[in-house]
Amino acid sequence: MLANVTKYIAICLVFFCAGTRAISQDSSSENYSSILNQILSLQFDTADSLIEAFRGGHEMVLEIMYLENYLEFLDALIGGDRASYENYLSKSVERLDSIRSRFGYLPGRLSVISAIHLQSSFLNAYHGDNLKAARNFYVAKRYLRQLESAVPENPVNEKLGGLIYLVAGSAPAEYNWLMKIFGIRGDAEMGLEYLGDYHDGSTGANRLESCLILLYARQMTGLEEGTGRPLTDCGSDTVTLQRYFYAYHALKSGHSREVTEILGTWRQDPGETSFSYLDLLLGEAMLNNFQSEAGDQLLQFLQTTRGDHYVKTAWHKLSWYYYLNGDSAAYREARENVIQKGNMILDADKQAFREAGEKTPPNPGLLKSRLYFDGGHYWRSREILLGIYPGDLASQRDSLEYTYRLARISDCLGEIDEAIVKYHEVIKNGQGSSWYFPSNAALLMGMIYEDMGKKEKALESYHTCLKMNRSAYKNSIGNKAKQGIRRLK
Residue 227 neighbours by CB under 8 Å, 6+ apart:
192, 193, 196
CB 153 within 8 A of CB 196: no
Extended strands (E) in 286-331: none
Predicted pLDDT at 240: 93
Predicted pLDDT at 267: 92
Predicted pLDDT at 230: 45
Residue positions counted in the chain: 489
User: pLDDT tens-digit profile of 288-306?
Assistant: 999 999 999 999 999 999 9
Q: How is domain 246-347 classified at the CATH fold level?
A: 1.25.40
CB 375 within 8 A of CB 384: no
How does pLDDT run along the chain (489 residues), one tens digit per residue?
433 433 333 333 334 444 544 433 344 688 899 999 999 999 999 999 999 998 876 668 899 999 999 999 999 999 999 999 999 999 999 999 999 999 988 888 999 999 999 999 999 989 989 889 989 999 999 999 999 999 998 889 999 998 988 888 776 655 665 666 666 777 778 888 888 889 888 888 888 888 888 888 877 776 553 333 444 567 665 689 989 988 998 998 899 999 999 999 999 999 999 999 999 999 999 999 999 999 999 999 999 999 999 999 999 999 999 999 999 999 999 999 999 999 998 889 999 999 999 888 999 999 999 999 999 999 999 999 999 988 889 889 999 999 999 999 999 999 999 999 999 999 999 988 888 999 999 999 999 999 999 999 999 999 999 998 776 567 778 878 888 888 888
CB 310 within 8 A of CB 342: yes
**Chain Cα centroid distance, residue 360:** 31
Model-level pTM?
Answer: 0.88
Q: How is domain 364-488 classified at the CATH fold level?
A: 1.25.40
What type of residue sits at position 396? Q
Euclidean distance between CA atoms 135 and 117, whole angstroms: 9
- The values of phi and psi at residue 76, to 5°, are -65, -35
Predicted pLDDT at 176: 64
Q: For the chain, which residues make up each domain, given as ranges?
A: 3-236, 246-347, 364-488
CB 392 within 8 A of CB 360: no
Euclidean distance between CA atoms 26 and 29, whole angstroms: 5
364-488 has the same fold as 3-236: yes
Euclidean distance between CA atoms 407 and 417, whole angstroms: 10
CB 46 within 8 A of CB 36: no
CATH number of 3-236: 1.25.40
Predicted pLDDT at 175: 62
